Chain A
Amino acid sequence: MKRRTFIGMLTGAGASLLAGSATAGGTHHFTGYPDSYGVLFDSTKCIGCRKCEAACNAVNELPKPQLPFDDLSVLENRRRTHHDTYTVVNKYEYDGKPVFRKIQCNHCQEPACASACFVGAFKKEPTGAVSYDASRCVGCRYCMIACPFEIPTYEYHDPITPRVRKCTFCQPRILEGKLPGCVESCPKGALVFGRRDELLRIARERIRKHPERYVNHIYGEQEMGGTNWLYISGVPFEAIGMREDLGITPAPQLTTGALSVVPAVVGLWPLFLTGAYAITKRKEQIAAEEREQTVHRAVAEAEAEAAKKLAAALEKAERDKQAAIDREVKKALKEAEEARKKAEAASEGEE
């Protein structure tokens, strides 16, 4: 981060505080770019003509498909986006009647692909588009794992410079003041381009005016935190292959909590680990000291014992010596006595 940017951020933060941004302690709420564009798709008006697919192909200069775009037999198969098709229309049966649905990038307000990208190659633009910058892409394809709508595709055939491919919302055309290719080509008005806020109003109005024609739900208003492409339909969205179990949690919020544990580990693990090490060392030291003390005590005791033994031995020796002397003296005295008695007896016998 450049220093200038950092200072800019500080002043920006100050300005946004003055402007009263929706940032209270601990809560951060963002409503996206206020004037961003979107497209409203009305499945009750789509006739499955594939004109949008053809326009998309032409505008993005993609390779021509094997079957021409006016061949509607491909609608019989369930199709998805590929590296050479950014949008497809699929046909579904509901109550015996065909219902069509167009698939392309929904241009999330909080894109999962952008949140997952580890080089920041995806960006939410002020126009509403989620753009992709191939010059950053490393080709890990984590965006494809993350996208709940299964939109990003990959050029698996390219060994050197493969790219992720997806609908660009025709951002260059929007910036020129033109309509996205698909919207411009739609003959039935099933696609309406406009500011997202305005589109939501139009969608609500249509549902209010014709409650018998529409399901009372605008797909994309809340899904995954909201998308810039919006859908209204006459049949349940699940029936035209749109998942209704995605929830309304914006993708970045799925990981923010777990990611916030990362700095906590970095901050606290050194504490616990040096603590464990210190305890280990301390135990070792105490053990060593105790060992030393025990040895000291044992040595001292042994020495005292030895001294006692020595003294006892000396004493005993002394006693023994004394006893021997006494014995000798006694013996000498006894011998002398005996000699005297013998002499007396002899002199008595002579008389």
Chain B
Amino acid sequence: MAHVGAPSTKFWTPANILTAIILVVGIVLTVKRFTMGIGSVSNLSDDNPWGIWIGFDLLCGVALAAGGYTTTAAVYLFGMKKFHSAVRPAITTAFLGYAFVVFALLYDLGRYYRLPYPLTIYPGPTSFLFEVGLCVALYLTVLAIEFSPFLWEVIGWAKIRHLVHKLTLALTIFGVILSTLHQSSLGGLYLIAPSKLHPLWYSIYLPLFFFISSIPAGLSMVILEGSLSHKYLAHKMDDEHHHGFSHVVLGFSKAASVVLFAYFCMKWIGVAMDNNWSHLSTGWGWWFLVEVLGFVLLPCLLYAMAAREKNERLAFWASVMTVAGIILNRLNVSIIAFNWRLPAEARYFPSVEEFLITVFIVTLEITILRICLNKLPILYQHPQFRDAH
């Protein structure tokens, strides 16, 4: 597989050796999880029923896969045609992101084989988790359909590819609706636990915060992944990708900046709504300020400067900060500021094996993403379907 620069003929590069080790360890731990139970590999307990498999794999996985709906909406609904080259990579990462969110969920669910229950025979519509499940299932289907033309092009099934192409507008609108709903519903999950989540993070606006912050999360992932594939997969790119990328980076920087600014303001309105000012002087308050100033306002300003000065390097670092900030926020809500009242010895910290399973899942996802980018017409147009866009 390609590593740096030109296509490498060597397969056992250091990156691939590391990947192989992680995959082997992950398979061993997977066997352990499914034969000896969740308790055998994780630190999950009766006090802390949700750990990093939910806090990182689910919450961060979904937020960071938001590039799919933000990019398709920008291009197909808001007519920003110059971002067209970003659509295919964004759909690919979103599709793989959601597929692996569902895959990771199987590790966390006690009876994973009953995953279809809520959507089929036993719906529980009072639960925000039902809403999440329904929308993720439907959106994964939408993404699979949006992703499928890349395969049809390689196989050469022009008719079905054309059919999917005709559905573009409907799929895009459906995708935005479903994304709005499940991105916000992930925040809604915590509305039922005001007694457990720290007041600075608990808010009636939790669904809104999760939805709004998913937009810069998605845009930042497009910038981040675009920059990386530009570095490592440049030989796979056609002219549209090479030349369109600057537009994408600077345009998305501007958009991410303004959304982050609105999100920053909303965070403070959330504090004001529940009169949580007094918490700001506590240790938790400082931690809240680290998140809101260091990982929302700072990347917002960095993005603004990058957009003003047309500085793509700065935009890259702003995207790194934003992604880190989204991960920090989701972990704060789900793990760090959750159960904050419990005595220190009852608090949760992931076990090594739990952590390694997450690393395994992320590695597997990146590996499959690399294969897709190498084998499918994502960074370039298929010669046979060149003008079909």
Contact = CB atoms under 8 A, between A and B. Distances in A.
Interface of A: 80-83, 112, 114-121, 136-142, 144-146, 148, 150, 152-163, 243, 245-247, 251-252, 254-255, 257-259, 261-262, 265-266, 269-270, 273-274, 276-277, 280-281, 283-284
6 contacts: A136-B122, A158-B37, A159-B33, A273-B73, A273-B176, A280-B78
B38 A118 contact: no
The B interface, classified by DSSP as helix, strand, loop or mixed, is helix
A80 B172 CA distance: 49
A82 B39 CA distance: 13
Contacts of B177: 265-266, 269-270, 273
Contact of B78 (A83, A121, A243, A276): A276
A243 B194 CA distance: 13
A144 to B, nearest CB: 4
B193 interface: yes
A146 B189 CA distance: 9
Contacts of B37: 155-159, 162
A141 B112 CA distance: 12
Nearest to B173: A273
A151 to B, nearest CB: 9
A162 B38 contact: yes
B110 A277 contact: no
Contacts of B44: 141, 154, 156
Contacts of B309: none
A53 to B, nearest CB: 17
B111 A81 contact: no
Interface string B127-143: 11111010000000000
Given A140-B129, A142-B129, A280-B79, A154 B191 contact: no
Counting from the closest, the 8 A-B pairs by CB-CB distance are: A139-B110, A156-B39, A280-B79, A141-B49, A144-B49, A118-B130, A162-B110, A119-B122
Contact of A159 (B35, B77, B122, B172): B35
B80 to A, nearest CB: 9
A257 B169 CA distance: 31
A83 B44 CA distance: 13
Given A251-B192, A262-B131, A274-B173, A120 B47 contact: no
Contacts of B38: 156, 159, 162
A112 B192 CA distance: 7
Contacts of B270: none
Interface in B300-348: none
Contacts of A145: 49-50, 189-190, 192-193, 196
B40 interface: yes
Contact of A139 (B111, B126, B194): B111
B195 A243 contact: yes
B359 interface: no
A140 B109 contact: yes
A146 B192 contact: yes
Contacts, number: 177
Interface in B101-147: 108-112, 114-115, 117-118, 122-124, 126-131, 133
B46 A81 contact: yes
A277 B190 CA distance: 34
A150 B76 CA distance: 47
A13 B34 CA distance: 47
| Most central of A118, A136, A257, A265 by chain B CB within 10 Å | A118
A92 B54 CA distance: 35
Nearest to B116: A138
A154 B49 contact: yes
B227 interface: no
Given A138-B114, A280-B78, A269 B176 contact: yes
Given A146-B192, A159-B37, 10 more contacts: A117-B124, A118-B118, A121-B122, A138-B111, A139-B109, A162-B110, A254-B192, A269-B176, A269-B177, A281-B79
Interface stretch (B180-188, B249-257, B275-283, B287-295): B180-188
A246 B109 CA distance: 29
B192 A157 contact: no
Interface of B: 33-40, 42, 44-47, 49-50, 73, 76-79, 108-112, 114-115, 117-118, 122-124, 126-131, 133, 169, 172-173, 176-177, 180-181, 184-185, 188-196, 204, 206-207
A276 B80 CA distance: 12
B110 A154 contact: yes
A112 B34 CA distance: 29
A264 B77 CA distance: 20
B139 to A, nearest CB: 13
Nearest to A80: B46
B309 to A, nearest CB: 29
Nearest to A117: B124
A95 B189 CA distance: 41
A254 B193 CA distance: 8
B126 A255 contact: yes
Nearest to A277: B77
B47 A150 contact: yes
A261 B117 contact: no
A137 B185 CA distance: 21
B171 to A, nearest CB: 12
Given A118-B127, A136-B122, A254-B194, A280 B117 contact: no
Contacts of A152: 46
Contacts of B126: 114-117, 252, 255, 259
Nearest to A275: B77
A119 B49 contact: no
B50 A141 contact: yes
B46 A82 contact: yes
B116 to A, nearest CB: 9
Contacts of A269: 173, 176-177, 180
B193 A146 contact: yes
Given A80-B46, A119-B122, A138 B110 contact: yes
Nearest to A158: B37
A21 to B, nearest CB: 20
B181 A116 contact: no
B49 to A, nearest CB: 4
A120 B172 CA distance: 32
A116 B110 contact: no
A140 B188 CA distance: 16
Contacts of B50: 141, 145
